[in-house]
Amino acid sequence: MSEMRPFPGGGPPGMASSKPSFRAALSVFENRNYRFLWTSSLFSFTGMQMQMVARALLAWELTQSFGSVGLISLSFGLPMLLFSLVGGSLADRFDKRNLTLISMVATGLLALVNALMLVTGTITIGWLFVLGLAGGTSMALGMPARMPLMAHVVGPQNLMAAMAMSNSAMNATRLFGPALAGAMVAAWNLESVYFLQTALYAFSVLTMLAVPAGIGRIPLGMRRQSMWREIGDGLSYVIRDRQLRMLNLMMFMVAFFVMPYVMLLAGFVQEDLGKGEREYGLLQSVSGAGALIASLAIASLTAYDRKALLQWGAGILGGLSLIGLALGSEAFGFVGALGATLVLGLALTVYQTVNSTLTMDAARPEMYGRVMSISMLSFSAMPLMAWPLGQLADGIGVTNMFMGQGLLVIGFLLVMGIARPAYTFGRTPPAAQPVEHSQWGARPPQRDEDERALPASGGR
């Protein structure tokens, strides 16, 4: 039995309005499982934001080196690079909720170990690197299951709203998580941050247990290939698919040359701006405020038919904002840095959310885990690039580094816009597609992805 695939935003194919509707976006909270998934994410995101601040401050405190801060980021990104594809295959083979739970339990235990090593005075830059490797492995194996789980919970017609609301939870934690971590370090010590993170992950696990197991699980009869064969199929699928190939390239570029700025902020605030932990936490929170504004705004654009243009423009704005961070801080000091990071948080959130939405919309449901694991490789690029960029920043200065990164990304996106004008500047309503229902989800008809050319209007 087949039916017409719903138009994102709830209307019939070809008939949906692109008028923003925040009320429609809020309808995802009527779904019980999504509410628990969102709440669990809120706890874990808070812990993650606080840990990012604590890890950067601890690495700087131990070494006073941008390169060492980047090295600790490298420890987190390296296993993501090595194991994300394995995590994607696991997400398509096993229960997505349980994989997410295992990842959160492991992350909480690692935070507890870090806290205890700080209390006993045994933490070193070497041990911090090892803990980063373990944390990155946990995330690489568990995170590819979270977004496909959400997609199966809400359905394709509510995907962009659900992702935007999930991002709003993450970005809301950026408003108070980093500032709280900075205040706790200033008032007490670093170990207090890690102890609180452990508690937050415990609450996240308890909330996730309210989501039933089995959502989006592939029937046993469909698991006929080895894990490595499935990974190869996923890579081949993305490489052959014209739209997925382009979306991943665009995400990788920004992840390589814009997002690593976050890893360099701790030293930038203290060395270039002459400020301390509180100001660093405030800068992170202001970036989170911009990201939260972007998440709430993008949630109302589920039916917007120029998502590709929205992503492209957000990327250009992100590059300009990175240049503004360098020039604004030199001209106006900490106030200039605050303004630039506000816009950076907004632009990068729009870019990432739209890219992930277009990626999930282009992928077949049975490939969700593997497709998102490939997309997750871009997030491994962020900490991986922090180390060489940190080394370069030690040599040429972090403000010059920021300017070079911004110019490079702007140039790349301008080339992309010129090379693909129909896609970038055209309207992109999703085509009406019949789907077949299986016992685990909707599945579009299979076809050769090389033949799925984008029409002149820019649609899929």
pLDDT at residue 384, as a whole number:
67
In 21-95, which ranges are continuous DSSP H helix? 22-26, 32-63, 66-93
Give the per-residue pLDDT at 197: 92
Per-residue tokens: 110 = 């690692």
pLDDT value for 252 = 85
Q: Which SS3 state, helix, strand or coil, does residue 140 take?
A: helix
Collect all residues with Cβ–Cβ distance below 8 Å to 1 and sequence separation of at least 6.
436, 437
**Residue 224: predicted pLDDT:** 55
Residues 6+ positions from 404 with CB-CB distance below 8 Å: none
Supply the pLDDT for residue 19: 59
Q: What pLDDT, on the 0 to 100 scale, is given for residue 9? A: 37
Rg (the chain; Cα; Å) = 21
When the candidates are 3.90.79.10, 1.20.1250.20, 3.40.50.720, 3.40.50.920, the CATH number that belongs to 24-213+239-431+442-451 is 1.20.1250.20
pLDDT value of position 374: 81
* pLDDT under 50: residue ranges of the chain: 1-17, 430-460
Residue in 381, 458, 382 with CA at minimum distance from that of residue 417? 458
Q: Would you say the pTM of this structure is higher than 0.85?
A: no
Contact residues for 411 (Cβ-Cβ < 8 A; gap 6+): none
Question: Residue 432: what pLDDT?
Answer: 36
pLDDT of 44-78, one tens digit each?
Answer: 989 888 888 888 888 888 887 777 777 787 787 78
Residue 5 backbone phi and psi in degrees, to 5 = -70, 130
- pLDDT for 15: 37
Which tokens belong to 339? 């303004």
Tell me the DSSP string of 86-125. Answer: HHHHHHHHS-HHHHHHHHHHHHHHHHHHHHHHHHHT---H
